[in-house]
Chains A and B, each alone.
Chain A
Amino acid sequence: MSDDHDRFDNFSRRTLMKGGAAGAAMLPMGARAQSMSAGGASATGPSVQRIEVSLDINGQRRDLTIDTRSTLLDVLRHELELTGSKKGCDHGQCGACTVHVDGQRTLSCLTLAAQAEGTKVVTIEGLSDEDNLHPMQRAFVENDAFQCGYCTPGQIMSGVACITEGHAGSDAEIREYMSGNLCRCAAYPNIVAAVKQARTEMGG
């Protein structure tokens, strides 16, 4: 451990010197915790980089050491066992991984977990308390807005944002502003109905 720390100090000093004024302007994220594992940087790039991050997930602070390559989605599912957010495509194409970051719907598969530090992340698990479903969740149940359910957490997170953004004014607008969430079971008509019902309840 102390060995690691020595190396990381070397790295951060080198970064600072190389960067000159820039180094000083860098937030200490890299310097604070980015440790080089054995081998260090080579001509082809560094070896695995670990950093410490402090995330705010569903109102809880979670301190973690992660690989810089980790996406927010993988950290949620694998490190924090919040498996509600789904991995459909892992490339920004399906919306199954949608979460809210500072209230904005965001694709967790294209968000590096490191980028999420300093923000408030809400997942489907944090949308409502244990006893009461969120109006959007209830609307999905009541309108039969799913079949297999795989896309549903993403649809629900997206549907809530669609209303709070003010983009649920008409059926056509709901369809356009829900188009980032694909449903392989094609429950689309019922999803539109659910968003409409929740809009009335949410007062959007």
Chain B
Amino acid sequence: MRPFYYERAETAVGAVASSGPGTHYLAGGTTMVDLMKLDVQRPTRLVDISGLEGGRYDFIRWDGDALRIGALTTMAKLADDEQVRRRAPVLSDALWLAASPQIRNMARISGNVLQRTRCPYFRDTSYAQCNKRVPGSGCAALDGGVTRHHAVLGTSDQCIATYPGDFAQALIALDAVVEILSPDGPRSVRFADMHVLPGGKPDRETMLKEGDLIVAFSIEDAAFPRSKYLKVRDRESYAYALASAATALRMEGDTVADVRLGLGGVATVPWRAKEAEASLRGGPLDESALERAAQIAFAGATTTEENAFKVDLGKRTMVRALLETARMEG
């Protein structure tokens, strides 16, 4: 690990005003410290934001059906929140099925959504080729690497790294908004617009700018008692998703009144399957409708020999998640 200055910020305004080149925020540290040890992240200065203003950004607040969550809330706290479990189980599921209890105690939800890919060539600096780590260097994964875990949606010829997180799929499905304090003042962006596709610039993962501090996530309509997160992986616990689905449903009799679908483990960024949702809205949730929706969701998939299985797995995961969600009370 390279030497760095360590400072604690007391206030959000103070943290933002102290930003500059080489300065990074430290929340729970479970991504940052890991990647610093690997020499993938090389901050010259860490500004510890975990204790900002005595916990002011650690909260879970309902106002009617609207939900606002402080950026520095731990994964564990949100996962275990009784009201969230009852009123928006997809948010809770996507957290308790992620990482381990220890990591969930440490990690904050803002750090969670900004976690970096687990692509082994990104994490191992002995590979010279990685466009995400060293722009323009090539891609060891596409150049004969092992790609079983890599993405099939949202890829480019520069990078096929999977976005590894779970919670982001729940946020994108529920139309979350990110509240940001930037050096120019506060602003909000749709969560769906925060991550950017790799395209020709896989090193740029979000539209956040230097110094941007996430302070909260808000969801205007979070009352989805009929919602869940289904995660399929190589071992039953403590593993990243091979395929996952965040689903939320509102039914009127046998007709789909509203449906939300986020897909994980298969895409380069948090993924919302909007066209698939549209194909289901207003119709019944029967076998042929589900089959068609799955077809639509994965129509644009590009695969390698090793990750081609993710298309079928992704479709089945999505269909099963929707069927299980339909059977929930709500």
Q: Which residues of chain A have C-beta atoms less than 8 A from B50's C-beta?
A: 115
Q: Is residue B37 within 8 Å, beta carbon to beta carbon, of the partner chain?
A: yes
Q: Is residue A45 within 8 Å, beta carbon to beta carbon, of the partner chain?
A: yes
Q: Is residue B120 within 8 Å, beta carbon to beta carbon, of the partner chain?
A: no
**Per a CB cutoff under 8 Å, which of A15, A18, A71, A180 touches B101?**
A180
Please list 25 pairs of residues, one from A and one from B, whose beta carbons are closer than 8 Å in the complex, sorted by A's number. A15-B18, A18-B20, A19-B17, A21-B13, A22-B16, A22-B18, A25-B14, A25-B17, A26-B7, A27-B9, A30-B7, A34-B7, A45-B4, A49-B3, A49-B4, A49-B5, A67-B3, A68-B4, A68-B6, A105-B101, A105-B102, A106-B102, A112-B33, A115-B29, A165-B101
Q: Of A57-65, A87-95, A127-135, A191-199, which stretch is located at the interface?
A: A87-95
CA distance in complex: A98, B38 (Å): 21
Chain B interface bracket (under 10, 10 to 19, 20 to 34, 35 or more) = 35 or more
Contact with B along A32-64 (1 / 0, CB 8 A): 001000000100011111010000000000000
Q: Is residue A120 within 8 Å, beta carbon to beta carbon, of the partner chain?
A: no
Q: Is residue A114 within 8 Å, beta carbon to beta carbon, of the partner chain?
A: yes
Check if B6 sits within 8 Å of A158, measured CB to CB: no
Known contacts A107-B106, A111-B29, A179-B237, A24 near B42 by CB under 8 Å:
no
Q: Which residues of chain A have C-beta atoms less than 8 A from B38's C-beta?
A: 91
Give B323 Cβ to nearest chain A Cβ, in Å.
Answer: 22
Check if B238 sits within 8 Å of A45, measured CB to CB: no
Residues of chain B having any CB pair with chain A under 8 Å: 1-11, 13-18, 20, 22, 26, 29-30, 33-34, 36-38, 42, 44-46, 48, 50-51, 76, 80, 99-103, 105-106, 236-238
**Residue on B with the closest CB to A104?**
B105
Check if A107 sits within 8 Å of B30, measured CB to CB: yes
Q: Which residues of chain B have C-beta atoms less than 8 A from A181's C-beta?
A: 100
Q: Which residues of chain B have C-beta atoms less than 8 A from A47's C-beta?
A: 3
Known contacts A45-B2, A68-B3, A27 near B10 by CB under 8 Å:
yes
Listed residue (A46, A51, A67) with the most chain B CB atoms within 10 angstroms of its CB: A46
Q: Is residue A141 within 8 Å, beta carbon to beta carbon, of the partner chain?
A: no
Q: Is residue A20 within 8 Å, beta carbon to beta carbon, of the partner chain?
A: yes
Chain A interface bracket (under 10, 10 to 19, 20 to 34, 35 or more) = 35 or more
Check if A26 sits within 8 Å of B14, measured CB to CB: yes
Q: Which residues of chain B have C-beta atoms less than 8 A from A176's C-beta?
A: 237
**Residue on B with the closest CB to A45?**
B44
Known contacts A26-B18, A112-B6, A179 near B44 by CB under 8 Å:
no
**Residue on B with the closest CB to A19?**
B18
Check if A162 sits within 8 Å of B5, measured CB to CB: no
Q: Is residue A202 within 8 Å, beta carbon to beta carbon, of the partner chain?
A: no
Check if A45 sits within 8 Å of B3, measured CB to CB: yes
Check if A115 sits within 8 Å of B17, measured CB to CB: no
**Per a CB cutoff under 8 Å, which of B10, B101, B106 touches A110?**
B106
- Other than the known A46-B4, A114-B6, what 14 A-B pairs have Cβ atoms closer than 8 Å? A18-B20, A25-B10, A46-B3, A69-B2, A92-B30, A92-B102, A98-B102, A105-B105, A107-B102, A107-B106, A115-B26, A176-B237, A179-B236, A180-B102
Q: Which residues of chain B have C-beta atoms less than 8 A from A30's C-beta?
A: 5-8
Q: Is residue A7 within 8 Å, beta carbon to beta carbon, of the partner chain?
A: no
Q: Which residues of chain B have C-beta atoms less than 8 A from A162's C-beta?
A: 101
**Residue on A with the closest CB to B211?**
A22
Nearest first, the 9 closest Cβ-Cβ pairs linking A and B are A180-B100, A25-B14, A22-B17, A179-B237, A22-B18, A30-B7, A45-B44, A27-B8, A179-B238
Check if A91 sits within 8 Å of B29, measured CB to CB: no
Contact with B along A71-92 (1 / 0, CB 8 A): 1000000000000000000111
Known contacts A49-B4, A68-B4, A179-B237, A25 near B102 by CB under 8 Å:
no
CA distance in complex: A115, B108 (Å): 14
Check if A26 sits within 8 Å of B1, measured CB to CB: no
Q: Which residues of chain B have C-beta atoms less than 8 A from A46's C-beta?
A: 3-5, 44-45
Give B294 Cβ to nearest chain A Cβ, in Å.
Answer: 28
Listed residue (B8, B22, B29, B99) with the most chain A CB atoms within 10 angstroms of its CB: B8
- A residues 101-130 in Cβ contact with B at 8 Å: 104-107, 110-112, 114-115, 118
- A residues 156-185 in Cβ contact with B at 8 Å: 158, 161-162, 165, 167, 175-177, 179-181
Q: Which residues of chain B have C-beta atoms less than 8 A from A19's C-beta?
A: 14, 17-18
Check if B3 sits within 8 Å of A25, measured CB to CB: no
Check if B102 sits within 8 Å of A158, measured CB to CB: yes
CA distance in complex: A98, B236 (Å): 21
Q: Which residues of chain A have C-beta atoms less than 8 A from B48's C-beta?
A: 114-115
Give B234 Cβ to nearest chain A Cβ, in Å.
Answer: 13
Q: Which residues of chain A have C-beta atoms less than 8 A from B102's C-beta?
A: 92, 95, 98, 105-107, 158, 180
Q: Which residues of chain B have C-beta atoms less than 8 A from A114's C-beta?
A: 6, 48
